[in-house]
Structure 1
Amino acid sequence: MEIGEKIVKIAVVGPESTGKSTISQLLAEHYNTVWVPEYAREYCSRLTEPCSWQDEINMFRGQLQLEESLATQANKLLICDTTFLTVKIWSDYMFGKTPEEVLEMLPQHTYDLYLLMDIDLPWEDDPLRDFPHLRGYFMEIWHNELAALHARYTVISGSTNERLQNAVQAVNNYLNII
């Protein structure tokens, strides 16, 4: 990456078990760039107690730091497997409110394009996933949160291969208009 060259940030977001990590990895391979894994996944795998308010703040900070550190390795595109908007969504659901520093950072730390993974894939059990019965609810929340940010986003549906094709098409369409 050349000095001063803008990195296009693509956020792959959505409810649990919608293929965000898989699509993030595949997109990074397709565009020969790096992807930012979901910091919360590793963080939560080490928790021995239920997730606390401080844990949400730690995950917010960790996601930002991880993204910042990997951005220097990006080849024009940075693919982000979720964003700290997830901290807002989970905090609102679990605690009824969001940490103030998350709210302050949301309008400042934007992404060029969001790919919202649809809930049309079958649920896959995972010890870090909690709400198979609330996927529709969280999908609606994602739509509302992205609309509140005035974010440019596309819903990505279908099988893994169809999702990849749809995601590549959405990214290419975006790249053709900038």
Structure 2
Amino acid sequence: MIKKIVIIGPESTGKSSLCKALADHFADNYLTDWCPEYAREYLIENGMDYTYEDLLTIAKGQLALEDEHAHALQTALNKSGDTTKEAILFVDTDMMVMKVWSEYVFGKCHSFILDQIAERKYDGYLLANTELPWTRDALREYPSEETRQKLFYMYLDMMVNQNTPWDIVGGINHDRIANGIAAVNRLLI
């Protein structure tokens, strides 16, 4: 069985780094993998002048990438022959991120994204807090602390109003990873 833990939060909150670190840490006791954020690949290839329709394309790409990683992990689990072994897929971004992005930038969200939020099931969410300093890169749009906090509270509102277990992960450097590990352990109980 594959457990899926999704890491969400505003940009530049260490989601990708946390996914990698968690997959590495839990590899001692589980088969693990992590699914990167599809939007990065898409925006690098197509540029930052994206439209509302592009967000639907990105959402579908994210789901396909997640399914690809889940399938590969399930195949590895089946090949292991160990019926007691479990697997964890750490997912960097899901449809909740697409919803926040879409609503924040365009004031609306595709029904496909909303339907996927209702249909897809996860074992837990980690909401990355904003204490990490914003780091410039070609794909990031919101350096202001006010905007980062507004986005964080949009994610927090979604977490509070859904039924999947979740936790906030804060801290810097090793503390953040240790807090993420502790949160995953709580979610897996």
TM-score in terms of structure 2 length? 0.86
Alignment of 1:58-73 (within 5 A): 58-73=57-72
**Residue of structure 2 in register with 1:3 after alignment:** none
Separation (CA, whole Å) in 2 of partners of 1:24 and 1:155:
14
Q: Counterparts of 1:48 and 1:36 in 2: how far apart (Å)?
A: 22
Q: Which amino acid is 1:126 matched to?
A: D
Q: Are positions 1:121 and 2:132 aligned together?
A: yes
Whether 1:96 and 2:95 are equivalent positions in the alignment is: no
Deviation at 1:49, TM superposition (A): 5.6
| Structure 1 gap segments, 5+ residues each | 1-5
Provide the TM-score with structure 1 as the length reference: 0.91
Does the alignment pair 1:140 with 2:153? yes
Alpha carbons 1:107, 1:149 under 8 Å: kept: no
> Which residue does the alignment assign to 2:16?
21
Aligned pair partner of 2:181 in 162, 168, 176: 168
> 1:146 offset after TM fit, Å?
1.8
In 2, Cα distance between equivalents of 1:94 and 1:157: 26
C-alpha deviation, 1:101, in angstroms: 0.7
Q: How many residues align?
A: 171
The change in CA–CA distance for 1:23 and 1:49 in structure 2 (over 3 A counts) is closer
RMSD of equivalent CA atoms: 1.3
User: What are structure 2's unaligned runs of at least 5 residues?
Assistant: 74-85
| SS of 1:34 mapped into structure 2 | strand
1:83 aligns with 2:78: no
Determine helix, strand or coil for the equivalent of 2:141. coil
The one-character-per-residue Cα deviations of 1:31-70 (angstroms, maximum 9, x if unpaired) are: 2211000000110111246111121001110111000011
After TM superposition, give the deviation of residue 149 of structure 1 in Å: 2.4
Deviation for aligned residue 1:94: 1.3
User: Which sits farther off after the overlay, 56-65 or 144-153?
Assistant: 144-153
Letter aligned with residue 57 of structure 2: N
1:60, 1:84 within 8 Å by CA — same for their partners in 2? yes
Aligned partner letter, 1:24:
C
Q: 2:169 aligns with which of 156, 161, 168?
A: 156
The aligned runs of 1:24-63 (5 Å cut-off) are 24-32=19-27, 33-48=32-47, 50-63=49-62
Q: Counterpart amino acid of 1:129?
A: R
